[in-house]
Amino acid sequence: MAAVSGFEGFEKRLQLDFSPTGADADPLGLRGLSPATLRLVLDAVGCSIVSAAGNRHFDAYVLSESSLFVYPHRIIIKTCGTTQLLNSVPLLLRHAARLGGAGGLRPSLCRYSRGSFIFPDAQPFPYSSFRHEVELLERALPAELAHRKASVVSSPGPHSSWHVYSAAAGGYMSEERERERELFTVEVCMTELDRGLASAFYRGDRRRWLSGDEAGREMTEGTGLGGVNPRSLALGFAFDPCGYSMNGLDRDRYSTVHVTPEEGYSYASFECVGGPWEEEGGETAAMLARAVRVFGPGSVSVSVSGGGGRSEAVWSAVESAVGAVGLECRTRAAEYFPGVGQVTYQTFAAARQ
Ligand SMILES: C[S@+](CC[C@H](N)C(=O)[O-])C[C@H]1O[C@@H](n2cnc3c(N)ncnc32)[C@H](O)[C@@H]1O
């Protein structure tokens, strides 16, 4: 009997960092990629832009399947469903080589991460096997990204493995990039959303005729997502008949939220950056608690990458934040990845009665 699948909420996340090669580097860097080039890259992935915003630091796009962030020397693409995210790698490397003046932009770091899919059998090749994804990356990346590691940071139970690959150039590992490693990325995946809370991400009759941006604004305000980071400009987009994506812009920091509210495979994600952990870990943990409260999930995983925090300090701050909404920490793990630093991973489930 064929398995019936719903929408795959769990995202694949790719980050590519670049270094300019010439002294006369163009400060726009990757932000100089033309709309036609971005379309070409996203066509190959299997998604499209539904809304765009930007500030003096970066451009933020809501995609039909999640989000894209473009900084002068960093691009982050996060896509869900059955998208083929890794098709973007050779295209981005090729187009970046023509940007930024002189010898173009050369890659200095590649980071790929994802959770465990709800519907793994519905994924196209190579995404049903992490080994195949890694093989594809290994072939696509140039030899200068020589410091490489692939690992599944896992724990027993469903949806509880965190797949991470990183490849960094020698220069990226050296001291002048130390500050970069002081920044952390928090990736939160939530399933079994509270039915009442998830229903706020359906348009219903009242919002049927609103644009995606208008209905998204109402959802951002009505659910409290706008208050998760009160400093950030939160731009929400509502899909039809349900589903929601939001990009937040706070100076040079992005955040993003994605929601699949359908019963049976409900899913929401929250991602943000900050750093270093000693300075911003507390504030970020408070944001994490506010984000989780919006969805009332039955199970949550939290990964924190980089930021220089000690694993015990990160584990305990995350555990207090998620524990405050009635979830219990079930597993935790930490591993080092080149160019990324420490990656901690924790899973949470409803507290046992
Ligand atoms: C793109 S959003 C958020 C993605 C995110 N990774 C997640 O699952 O939370 C996915 C939600 O929007 C709904 N949706 C409605 N129209 C869609 C479209 N054209 N493309 C993608 N998702 C759409 C899906 O059914 C799902 O509930």
Which DSSP string corresponds to 9-54?
A: -PPEEEEEEEEE-STT--TTGGGGS-HHHHHHHHHHHT--EEEEEE
pLDDT value of residue 166:
97
Residue minimizing CA distance to atom 20 of ligand 1: 64
Helices (H), the chain: 35-45, 88-96, 130-140, 170-173, 178-181, 195-198, 212-223, 277-295, 311-323
| Nearest residue to 243 (alpha-carbon basis) of 103, 109, 44, 50 | 50
In terms of DSSP bridges, do strands 105-114 and 12-20 run parallel, antiparallel, or are they unpaired? antiparallel
- Site to substitute for ligand 1 among 67, 80, 85, 119, most atoms within 8 A of C-beta: 80
Q: What is the pLDDT of residue 3?
A: 46
Among 309, 292, 298, CA closest to 344: 309
- Residue pair 249/62 in contact (Cβ under 8 Å)? The answer is no
Cβ of residue 242 lying under 6 Å from some atom of ligand 1: yes
Catalytic residue among 245, 266, 301, 305: 245
Distance from residue 165's CA to the centre of ligand 1 (Å): 26
80 is catalytic: yes
> Residues 139-164: what's their mean pLDDT?
88
Question: How close is the Cα of 260 to the center of ligand 1, in Å?
Answer: 6
Give yes or no: 95 in active site: no
Return d(Cα 233, Cα 227) in angstroms, integer: 10
CA–CA separation, 347 vs 333, rounded Å?
9
Q: Is 245 a catalytic residue?
A: yes
pLDDT class of 351 with cuts at 50, 70, 90: confident
Could you say which of 88, 160, 258, 272 is catalytic?
A: 258
Choose the catalytic residue: 66, 116, 160, 166: 66
pLDDT of amino acid 159: 59
- Chain centroid to CA 328: how far? 23
Percent of the chain with pLDDT over 90: 85
Mutate to test the pocket of ligand 1, among 113, 159, 239 (most ligand atoms within 8 A of CB): 239
Distance CA 192, CA 332 (A): 20
Token look-up 């003046």 returns 101
Q: Give 180-219 pLDDT, tens digit per residue.
A: 568 899 999 999 999 999 999 999 999 999 999 999 999 9
- The answer, yes or no, to whether residue 156 has pLDDT greater than 80, is no
What's the pLDDT score for residue 1?
36
**Mean pLDDT for the stretch of residues 50-55:** 98
Residue with tokens 């009665």: 353
Query: For residues 322 and 293, what is the distance between their CA atoms, to the nearest angstrom?
Result: 9
Catalytic residue among 47, 67, 73, 80: 80
Mind listing the pLDDT tens digit for each residue in 80-125? 999 999 999 999 999 999 886 667 899 999 999 999 999 999 999 9
**Confidence band, pLDDT 50/70/90 cuts, at residue 2:** very low
Looking from the CA of residue 80, the nearest atom of ligand 1 is 6
- Whether the CB-CB separation of 115 and 147 falls below 8 Å is answered with no
Residue 239 marked in a binding site:
yes
First and final C-alpha spacing in the chain = 36
Mutate to test the pocket of ligand 1, among 49, 260, 271 (most ligand atoms within 8 A of CB): 260
pLDDT at 171: 78
Q: Looking at ligand 1, which residue's alpha carbon is closest to its atom 13?
A: 243
pLDDT of 33 strictly over 80: yes
Separation of 234 CA from ligand 1 center, angstroms?
Answer: 18
- pTM for this predicted structure: 0.95
**Domains assigned to the chain:** 12-350 (3.60.90.10)
ipTM: 0.95
Residue 19 known to be catalytic: no
Task: Give 245 Cα–ligand 1 centroid separation in angstroms.
Answer: 8
pLDDT at 14 (0 to 100):
98
In order, the DSSP letters of 287-317 are HHHHHHHHH--SEEEEEEEESS--HHHHHHH
48 alpha carbon to ligand 1 midpoint, in Å?
A: 12
Whether residue 7 is annotated as binding a ligand: the answer is yes
Q: Ligand 1: does its nearest atom lie under 6 Å from the Cβ of 66?
A: yes
- List CB contacts of 315: < 8 A, sequence separation 6 or more: 329, 332, 334, 344, 346
CA distances 67 to 150, 246, 269, 346, Å, are 24, 8, 12, 24
User: Is 176 annotated as a binding-site member?
Assistant: no
Flag whether 58 is marked binding: no
